[in-house]
Structure 1
Amino acid sequence: MPRLQAALSMSSLEPITDPGRSPSSKQVLLAEIALLLHELHPDDRYPPEPRLDSRLDRDLGLDSLTRLELMARLEQRFRIEIPESAGFAAATPSDLLKALHGARPRGTIGVSSVLELARREHLELPVAAVTMIEVLAWHAERHPERVHVHFSGGTADGIELTYRALQGAARRVAAGLQSHGIGPAEPVGVMLPTHPDFLCAFFGIVLAGGVPVPLYPPLRPNELTEYWHRQAGILRNCGARRLVVDDALYAHRRLIRSLTGGVEHLLTASGLSSGSAAYEPVAAQPDDLALLQYTSGSTADPKGVMVSHRNMLANLRVMGGFIGVDASDAFVSWLPLYHDMGLIGAWLGCLYYGAPLVLIPPQSFLLRPERWLWAIHQHRATLSAAPNFAYELCVHRIGDEALEGLDLSSLRLAFCGAEPVFAQTLERFATRFARHGFRADALYPVYGLAENTLGLTFPPPGRGAHVLHVERDRFLSSGHVRLSEAPMTLPFVSCGTVLPGHELRIADPDEHELPDDRQGRVQFRGPSACAGYYRNPDATRAFKRGAWLDTGDLGFLHEGELYLTGRVKDLIIRAGRHLHPQGIEQAVGDLPGVRRGRVAAFGAAVPSAGTERLIVVAETRLHDESERQALRLRIQESVAGLAGEPADEIVLATPGTVLKTSSGKLRRAACRAAYERGRLGSHTFWPMLAVLGRGALVAGSVRAGRLGALAFSGFAWLALGLLTLPALFAVALLPTVAARWRVVRGLLAAVQHATGIPLVLTATATLPPSPCIFVANHASYIDALVLVLALPRPVTFVAKEELARWPLARMLLLRFGAVPVARFDPARCTAVVEEASRSGRDFLFFPEGTFKRTPGLLRFHLGAFAAASKAGLPLVPIALRGTRSVLRAGDWLVHHAPLSVIFGAALLPNPDAEHWPETLRLAGVTREFLLAHCGEPDSGSPELGP
């Protein structure tokens, strides 16, 4: 107790500005260690006494994360920056004391011109490249001395790597691997820190015909035993016989070989490069593997995503093209290179587009988060990326004094992904750093996964974060989305629309596609999608859903944009309510007294109740029982606000209890297993009768809902089928188009009434008299049927010529007054309209010409607008909303969803304007109206249509 009191007293002293001359440095260091030990083990009556020669790991039990926390406290206390190499290598308090003496005072950072010259040079892109080898060769041949990567911090601080240097070093590594007998497509482990050796080894393996397998390195070599327990499964799965490590790990080669088993050759990048063998080029094909990307947390059943060169280039090109990356950008990244966001998004993305990259070791960021922001300032970076927790860490960990003079105004996109994105975090970050030039519209929440190489959905650049507030109780009980401004809502952040060329859908457990505003499983397909998992056929089969691939995530689509709600495996089903742990964890982590980012929420099964109990584990440093009880009450209040009911049990745990992966993600399954074994706190399993009853009722209603959806679809098709024959007779036999139109419209109204699908008609202005041109967006097979119901008078549909190739279809179209026209022939459209307008007929065009299953307004064909301009006819835009949700392309399941038809004000062509500019003006104004009312994103521009 006296030692703890001394530690508390010492830790409350004023900051020390010169640790090298202060006689109290030793006492402060030992006091901070003692305080940390007490926080970790508050109930330990006999904690280890820290001495200068104590081993930080063996004697004091401080793991890597705790040592990072200790170094951060020491830096804050002494207002210094500890040399990272010395700080991370420290094995004893004595080593840390030496590091303190060698530290430099914190100072301001000016703007660097290191990368400016490179950024001024315009670069063409390797658009013809079909492998990443060709991408590197392209840049090395055309601008060999251009700076590719600048290293900041760590052992490589200040080193710059040009394209020529990267290619040359990679070829030397490849030659070394070839001399060691590397086989075709042989996996090679890469266990290197953020250093030029990683980049050279990665490309050296590819150039030699092998497949790199990035693995995260241990923070300190003497932690190998615990580290390998988590990583051995990956090496066994990929069958790597060769492992590239740094010199520090190579010094422990005997221990590593005894731990790895299958690894036969332990290599270093420097050793591979030092040989005299010449590199023999290996022919690479687009479908060859570019890397194996193992998902974090994979230990017992590792899953190595097989990413081909074709996948890689498809994803890099679509992501960069969507956000407009070019060589004038600069990217600052502290993300680990063994993680897809850091490896592909930061490094390989910058490689393809020729944008300079600044790499910071991840430990540097965790130790001093402000270093990331100052690097953006120093290099005038335009792009950066981080998970949600990093933005939160910057808000709460960095003091104002460390930000004096910081300027973030150069940043145009700050990606936020790799884990759930929270609206509160984005708002706090934007507010905190607005005074330092950060623009809120730079925040860029995205969604991606290794199985799609990296990116899958992006929002419009420069829009900023878009948040929906959803009615809580309805969503938790049924998964239906209803927007609300009431107090009890759930906020969800948009991750944007699916990237061009890719497709996304939301599916129910029976693999039926769901309409918008319904929660389900997020599934995708496209050119970036991987073929499966390496040497894991069971996981590959579970991943595939017919032509679709299952992300394992839950979400919903609203107006074409994806909103993630949680992971399927993390979903807590409590009395029929579907609870997502991420929001609960974020809210509880914001409470005073709770360690931020150290909260886990999960469901504990109660077989007798047929439901789960909601367990919340929160780390805290509070020891006083009254304070802990008050904290429990605050947690219960917060949980009840999100879940509608309190948690079944709250475990207030000591620091270090909540388990995480190597990349900082919560291991909820491991936490649940530890809890059920009694390792996280006392617990009981008394099920509540009310929970049991409601759980059974809601579970039954969910099953009934699925059957009801199938029954409704069958009934809708039956109703339509029964009225098809009368409609065909009416079209074939009635003498006039007007009579045919009236009968078909009446039959469709009967179908709508029978199915109960609501249809809302809205007119923003009075419709002009005939003749005029109607223009509508196209999203579903039922668009024409809905328009027949909605239009107040018969119109002439301008149908694509392909529909008239079948005799029956041609007869029906002509009898109904439709005009077949080639979509790519504006002159023919104009001639048809001019000829028919003299008879006072109205026309209706779908200027997109077709529709796809993915939401989005496609590019326009300009025939309708050219016809209106040429003939001087008024043009009326019509926005259809909801038709895609009722019946989506490629899915014959009819859903019950509301329909809306919004008539815009007539656009009058300017008779004095030139024809082509007026055509474009009409198309542009029409597009603006449709985008404002159709509830779908923009998937093209009118100027690009033929």
Structure 2
Amino acid sequence: MAVDGYTPTLDSLPRRVADFPTLGEALDYAARGSRGMNFHDARGTLLRSYPYSELREDALTNARRFMTLGLAKGDRVAIIAETGPEFAASFFGAVYAGLWPVPLPLPTSFGGRDAYVDQLVIMLTSSDPQLFLYPPELADYATAAAEKRGVAARDWDSLTDVEPSIADLPPSDTDEIGYLQYSSGSTRFPHGVAVTHRALLDNLRAHGLGVQVQDSDRVVSWLPWYHDMGLVGCMLSPLANQISVDYLKTEDFARRPLAWLDLVSRNPGTTLSYSPTFGYDICSRRMSSQTKAADRFDLSRWRIAGNGADMIRPDVMQAFVDSFADAGFKAASFCPSYGLAEATLAVSIMPPGEGIRLELVEESELSGVGTPAQERPRRYRAIVNCGRAVEGMEIEIRGADGTVLADRSIGKVWVRGSSVMEGYFRDPESTAACMVGGWLDTGDMGYLSNGYIFIVGRAKDMIIINGRNHWPQDIEWAVEQLPGFKSGDIAAFAITGPSGEETPAVLVHCRVSDPAERGRLRDDIKERVRAITGISPVVELIPPRTLPRTSSGKLSRTKARNLYLSGEIQPYDIAA
């Protein structure tokens, strides 16, 4: 046990940057040192330190318990990914036993019990596990889902009742499947990415090299372990690169966001921590203008403030710098990145120290449709540089006909590399739709400039009105400029009007109760959107916390549209 109970930042074990053939061997090596995981409560108080050596012992015992339960190599073990020692020991126990762990999400605030049970049923159906493990406190949800699907299920505390097998553990090969990862947008039709040990370790090594991992590094994370950024970036990567980590549960971060920055400030040597844009945004908003950040935080050691999993907002990043510069935070610490589960995680990382770099792109270039100069004033959007391809990864930008485009030409982002998936689990049609000759169609739009990748949006989110293309985030960001709104309050998408024409629709979280004020607000929003699209939109004001999000915290426009059209999202009634 380290000083003050934490596993140490520094260790005498020689650093290896994820150069292992399998994940189990990565844990074997990390367990030879004294680093490990540290779990905290909502106020950031240490609850338990969990050295990698202890994790290894617990995982090996669980592996033998799985064998006693009759599980065989290649079977799936679905596990609700609660941040804690039990999930980690179950996940690695499955790995040691040659099983495929399948991290499943925790409940969210949206949709309630039935929606969560249905989500579990869908993922259990897709992954077809031989065992479903869950935290005891979620027994009501998990047993309901297991019964609907007919899956053997047990809470993970009950594993201690199982006598470990004395049989030999099966050998693991680098080209075998290590685990099954669901992409963040998985809802009705989930896509399980089958990740091999080789793909994983190649990506973990690329990640370690990309952030230029140092002996003095330490990680703080609140990201959920059922999403690739949390699981791969903040659990598996620190382990494979022998780094100690301090964890805050995601739901605790949601209640007390500044506890994240307390951990970064207080824990010795914290240098790496990651978040989507909304995490930085909520922290900036929670800081009172009367409070000096320097009185509470010390962010001077934070050298990699990673940002990914969503469109990176330069205004939000600047607001964070403005809020926490006096606490020692440096803008150059921002480290934009681009990745997706289908590439295991990292595709590109900004070289450390370069910070947020922008390019201004004219709206007509973003939409792919030229606009006569006399038609309207030129408008620009600031696009964030997401860095260079990580080791072993290639990026191409292709046009609609598949041809590779020149620098600064916007098109579909394709990637190829040793950590790109071979395919979706038991879904050859979806695999064939996005994989061609080893290249992955990411579904994202962007451009390359001098070796750096710039992401402009998701192809499927494009709104086409009267033959003109509009990015939903441009509409959303314009509405956000009105007083009282924040990032994530607005969802824009297209719907079909009464006469069959495409019409922009905008759902907006409304915190105003006065009917007359709501009417004025709706009119202001309509005018903002009309200025961008040229036609009058459908604007609906909805209760706060109504818009759905993916497992990574991103706004799900597709789900918002479906819920609105099905009547599950009920707008406020506003007189015309």
The within-5 A match list for 1:518-537 is 518-537=409-428
Q: In structure 2, how many angstroms separate the alpha carbons of the residues matched to 1:607 and 1:568?
A: 25
Task: Give the match for residue 181 of structure 1.
Answer: 70
Asked if 1:339 is matched to 2:230, the reply is no
Aligned identity (percent) is 33
Asked if 1:376 is matched to 2:275, the reply is no
Measure how far apart 1:375 and its partner are: 0.3
How many residues are aligned here?
Answer: 561
Task: Give the match for residue 131 of structure 1.
Answer: 22
The 3 A distance-change label for structure 1 pair 682 and 342 is closer
The 3 A distance-change label for structure 1 pair 295 and 308 is same
Asked if 1:303 is matched to 2:191, the reply is yes
Task: Give the match for residue 517 of structure 2.
Answer: 627
Q: In structure 2, how many angstroms separate the alpha carbons of the residues matched to 1:649 and 1:290?
A: 47
Asked if 1:280 is matched to 2:168, the reply is yes
The 3 A distance-change label for structure 1 pair 659 and 255 is closer
Task: Give the match for residue 514 of structure 1.
Answer: 405
Q: Normalized per residue, which structure has more strand?
A: 2
Tell me if the contact between 2:526 and 2:537 (Cα under 8 Å) persists in the aligned partners: no
Alignment counterpart, residue 549 of structure 2, candidates 647, 660, 665: 660
Measure how far apart 1:253 and its partner are: 6.7
Measure how far apart 1:291 and its partner are: 0.9
Q: In structure 1, how many angstroms separate the alpha carbons of the residues matched to 2:520 and 2:167?
A: 68
Task: Give the match for residue 190 of structure 1.
Answer: 79
Q: In structure 1, how many angstroms separate the alpha carbons of the residues matched to 2:11 and 2:474?
A: 44
SS in 2 for 1:415: strand
The 3 A distance-change label for structure 1 pair 550 and 509 is same
2:184 maps to a residue whose letter is: S
Asked if 1:496 is matched to 2:390, the reply is no
The 3 A distance-change label for structure 1 pair 556 and 647 is farther
Q: In structure 2, how many angstroms separate the alpha carbons of the residues matched to 1:245 and 1:535?
A: 24
1:452 maps to a residue whose letter is: A
The structure with more radius of gyration = 1
Alignment counterpart, residue 420 of structure 1, candidates 286, 294, 311: 311
Q: Normalized per residue, which structure has more helix?
A: 1
Q: In structure 2, how many angstroms separate the alpha carbons of the residues matched to 1:364 and 1:269?
A: 22
Q: In structure 1, how many angstroms separate the alpha carbons of the residues matched to 2:465 and 2:142?
A: 50
Consecutive unaligned residues of structure 1, counting only runs of 5 or more, are 1-111, 684-946
Q: In structure 2, how many angstroms separate the alpha carbons of the residues matched to 1:632 and 1:223?
A: 28
Task: Give the match for residue 589 of structure 1.
Answer: 480
Q: In structure 2, how many angstroms separate the alpha carbons of the residues matched to 1:138 and 1:474?
A: 50
Asked if 1:319 is matched to 2:207, the reply is yes
Tell me if the contact between 1:590 and 1:596 (Cα under 8 Å) persists in the aligned partners: no
Asked if 1:364 is matched to 2:255, the reply is no
1:621 maps to a residue whose letter is: R
Asked if 1:410 is matched to 2:301, the reply is yes
Stretch moving more, 418-427 or 587-596: 587-596
TM value normalised by structure 2: 0.90
SS in 1 for 2:382: strand
The within-5 A match list for 1:842-853 is none
Structure with the bigger RCO (C-alpha within 8 Å, sep 6+) is: 2
The 3 A distance-change label for structure 1 pair 279 and 272 is farther
The within-5 A match list for 1:417-496 is 417-478=308-369, 488-496=379-387
Q: In structure 2, how many angstroms separate the alpha carbons of the residues matched to 1:402 and 1:646?
A: 45
Q: In structure 2, how many angstroms separate the alpha carbons of the residues matched to 1:114 and 1:309?
A: 32
Tell me if the contact between 2:308 and 2:336 (Cα under 8 Å) persists in the aligned partners: yes
Measure how far apart 1:474 and its partner are: 4.3
The 3 A distance-change label for structure 1 pair 650 and 206 is same
1:191 maps to a residue whose letter is: I
SS in 1 for 2:386: coil
Task: Give the match for residue 87 of structure 1.
Answer: none
Measure how far apart 1:174 and its partner are: 0.6
2:49 maps to a residue whose letter is: E
Measure how far apart 1:513 and its partner are: 1.4
The within-5 A match list for 1:714-863 is none
Asked if 1:213 is matched to 2:130, the reply is no
Tell me if the contact between 2:364 and 2:370 (Cα under 8 Å) persists in the aligned partners: no
CA RMSD of aligned residues (A): 2.8
Task: Give the match for residue 351 of structure 1.
Answer: 239
Alignment counterpart, residue 35 of structure 2, candidates 140, 147, 158: 147
Task: Give the match for residue 201 of structure 1.
Answer: 90
Stretch moving more, 415-424 or 579-588: 579-588
CA displacement 1:594-620 (0-9 Å, x = unmatched): 3642211001135966x6211111010
TM value normalised by structure 1: 0.56
Stretch moving more, 572-581 or 593-602: 593-602
1:660 maps to a residue whose letter is: R
Q: In structure 2, how many angstroms separate the alpha carbons of the residues matched to 1:571 and 1:473?
A: 13
The within-5 A match list for 1:41-56 is none
Measure how far apart 1:158 and its partner are: 2.2
1:206 maps to a residue whose letter is: V
Measure how far apart 1:624 and its partner are: 2.5
Q: In structure 2, how many angstroms separate the alpha carbons of the residues matched to 1:168 and 1:151?
A: 18
Q: In structure 1, how many angstroms separate the alpha carbons of the residues matched to 2:262 and 2:79?
A: 29
Task: Give the match for residue 169 of structure 1.
Answer: 58
The 3 A distance-change label for structure 1 pair 376 and 680 is same
Q: In structure 1, how many angstroms separate the alpha carbons of the residues matched to 2:494 and 2:425?
A: 31
1:447 maps to a residue whose letter is: Y
Consecutive unaligned residues of structure 2, counting only runs of 5 or more, are none
Alignment counterpart, residue 290 of structure 1, candidates 167, 172, 178: 178
CA displacement 1:309-367 (0-9 Å, x = unmatched): 00001001112112211332000000001111111101111101111101110011100
SS in 2 for 1:496: strand
Tell me if the contact between 2:8 and 2:244 (Cα under 8 Å) persists in the aligned partners: no
1:458 maps to a residue whose letter is: I
Q: In structure 2, how many angstroms separate the alpha carbons of the residues matched to 1:467 and 1:378?
A: 32
Q: In structure 2, how many angstroms separate the alpha carbons of the residues matched to 1:191 and 1:647?
A: 44
Measure how far apart 1:523 and its partner are: 0.5
Tell me if the contact between 2:20 and 2:26 (Cα under 8 Å) persists in the aligned partners: yes
Q: In structure 2, how many angstroms separate the alpha carbons of the residues matched to 1:661 and 1:209?
A: 29
Tell me if the contact between 2:358 and 2:384 (Cα under 8 Å) persists in the aligned partners: yes
Q: In structure 1, how many angstroms separate the alpha carbons of the residues matched to 2:393 and 2:301?
A: 31
SS in 2 for 1:569: helix
Q: In structure 1, how many angstroms separate the alpha carbons of the residues matched to 2:236 and 2:334?
A: 22
Tell me if the contact between 1:586 and 1:597 (Cα under 8 Å) persists in the aligned partners: no
